[in-house]
Amino acid sequence: MIARIFPHPLLSVVLAVVWLALVNKVTPGNVLLGAILGVLVPLVTAPYWPRRARIGHPVKVAEYILIVLWDIVVANVQVAAIILFKRNRNIRSHWIAVPLELTSPEAITVLAGTITMTPGTVSAMLSADSGSILVHCLDTDDPEAVRDQIKTRYERRLKEIFQ
């Protein structure tokens, strides 16, 4: 019964919270409207969520978010330094193929987004069987190290969160 009203409890909570943040005022009416949205939207969109993503321990999720936020700041400074202080012909860009151990589409999406936001790398493509991801690296002397960093720093943590 409860599972029928809330097919996706986490999505319901997120929708209600985002609604409250959008109106920026916590009043009973807004809470009620947020709750209604939180119930209706997951019900209507349930056919588009054939598989439920399992999210691991909240502490792990928080740890991952903090690490990524910190890396984004570092990435900004690094990329800014490359843009400002390196001559174009000294910038060595590489393609890197990163084999994936992650299998769930949600986890791969998060990983691809993380790669794009963090130091000097943009995720460009998946292989046809989504078994590896193609990454463009702005400037590196050691493509192997970049690949290993992606695998140990992000993929390992995502594996703990999603699997």
Per CB under 8 A, which region of 21-29, 30-38, 40-48, 55-63 contacts another protein? Answer: 21-29
Q: Which residues contact 126 (CB under 8 A, 6 or more apart)?
A: 108, 112, 132, 133, 134
Q: How far is the CB of 121 from another protein (least distance, A)?
A: 8
The Cα-based distances of 151 to 40, 53, 78, 102, 154 in angstroms read: 38, 21, 20, 10, 6
**Cβ contacts of residue 94 below 8 Å, gap of 6+?**
136, 137, 140, 143, 146
Q: Which is nearer to another protein, 32 or 69 (CB)?
A: 69
22 binds another protein (CB under 8 A): yes
Per rule CB under 8 A, is residue 59 in the interface with another protein? no
Nearer to another protein, 20 or 67 (CB): 20
Q: Which residues bind another protein (CB under 8 A)?
A: 18, 20-22, 24, 72-73, 75-76, 79-80, 83-84, 88, 91, 93, 95-97, 99, 112-113, 116-117, 120, 122-132, 134, 136, 138
